Structure 1
């Protein structure tokens, strides 16, 4: 679902998007919001997050590049073009050249992660990384740009190409339950990259961006 479809007020954000040279890694987050939502109501949640992150946190826009709900629907987050390497505000010290994907909900210990959500995250990661031919199961070295991360500014560290927010910052995000599912998400994303008959490698998952499932 595009920003216009979920009702982003474009007058609230910084009109100038910033870009990296490409996308080398993905950080997975959760929004730390209630799980008992209807997917049809997610646009309202996004508008609330948007207001909080632009006005209250002064991030200039939504910090996340994309968000995924429990029905597996994918939403455009930070403005600038879904197929472009937009620099977000989601992983302090490691925003450059990375993408932030946020699972809508809270995924602490013992919280089930919906299968549809996992598939949505994996499909999005497969597509986004596939634009540069990056294997979702590989590793990458990233260099910190901020002392507030887990690594002092200028320090390089090795990450999984699909990592959790906690890998780069002192936080519980994306929650213990979702963090535990990252290996499965990596392997599913890699599998999807190879299923050219169903979704061409590097193709935009347009169907996943179409909108929320009705009645959920």
Structure 2
């Protein structure tokens, strides 16, 4: 880990627990006590937004992810910032992934609406994060076994996210970096860093250095990197709603 940013273990384990869906999840059995300096954001669970049952249970690994992948949903930049709209978005994504893609469930682990509402995606994601483990999703081709994906509502090829979405993205990435002991400057990436896609959009991708800086700052780090200009990537953009590029590789399960 970078010598300039040595993050201590402040994961939401031990005696602190994590606030998920309004409930406090208790300590993980056998986990060492840990004082968390990073508060868990309000995470709306699958039961709250009305998820369908998955056709098969998610695979949970006994280790955390090493990268956080930022996506855009390739949906309209809605001006409906309500919680009801956010829940409807999560249901629509799940329906497309299950009925359109033939997957067992929602592909990504987390979703943030333009109103700044954070929602659980793939089944058992909230449980796994609380335990410092990783649910294998379907969001970044050939890299799902070691990355956690955040879908950000909207399309960010020429426009930027709302302030509410941005603030929640910073808080969510800080929480994940805290839980998994990740250096935000190394761990936070865009979908295009792994696959041939414009996702998460030229504008949002150009703001990833700012995202890393803000997350690092909230964790007490003191390194600053300059933001990159938003320039056209030349990579393939969305072909249709919910198309953010390659989500599974030829050797990966779509369960």
* TM-score > 0.5 by shorter chain: yes
- Do the aligned partners of 2:154 and 2:161 also contact (CA within 8 Å) in 1? no
Q: Report the count of equivalent residues.
A: 170
> Which residue of the other structure, out of 6, 28, 50, is the alignment partner of 1:7?
50
User: 1:113 Cα deviation (Å)?
Assistant: 2.0
- Do the aligned partners of 2:185 and 2:212 also contact (CA within 8 Å) in 1? yes
Which runs of 4 or more aligned residues in structure 1 lie more than 2 Å from their structure 2 counterparts after TM superposition? none
What CA RMSD, in Å, does the superposition of the two structures yield over aligned residues? 1.5
Q: Distance in 2 between matches of 1:162 and 1:127?
A: 12
Partner of 1:167: 193
Q: Distance in 2 between matches of 1:132 and 1:107?
A: 28
Cα deviation code 1:155-179 (max 9, x no counterpart): xxxxxx1111011111111111111
Note if 1:116 corresponds to 2:164.
yes
Alignment TM-score, normalising by the size of structure 1? 0.74
Alignment TM-score, normalising by the size of structure 2? 0.63
> Which residue of the other structure, out of 69, 74, 81, is the alignment partner of 1:27?
69
Partner of 2:178: 130
Q: Distance in 1 between matches of 2:203 and 2:76?
A: 15
Q: Distance in 1 between matches of 2:98 and 2:56?
A: 12
Which structure 2 segments of 5+ residues have no match?
1-43, 222-255
SS in 2 for 1:64: coil
Q: Distance in 2 between matches of 1:126 and 1:190?
A: 7
Whose radius of gyration is greater, 1 or 2? 2
Q: Distance in 2 between matches of 1:180 and 1:15?
A: 37
Partner of 1:39: 81
User: 1:137 Cα deviation (Å)?
Assistant: 1.1
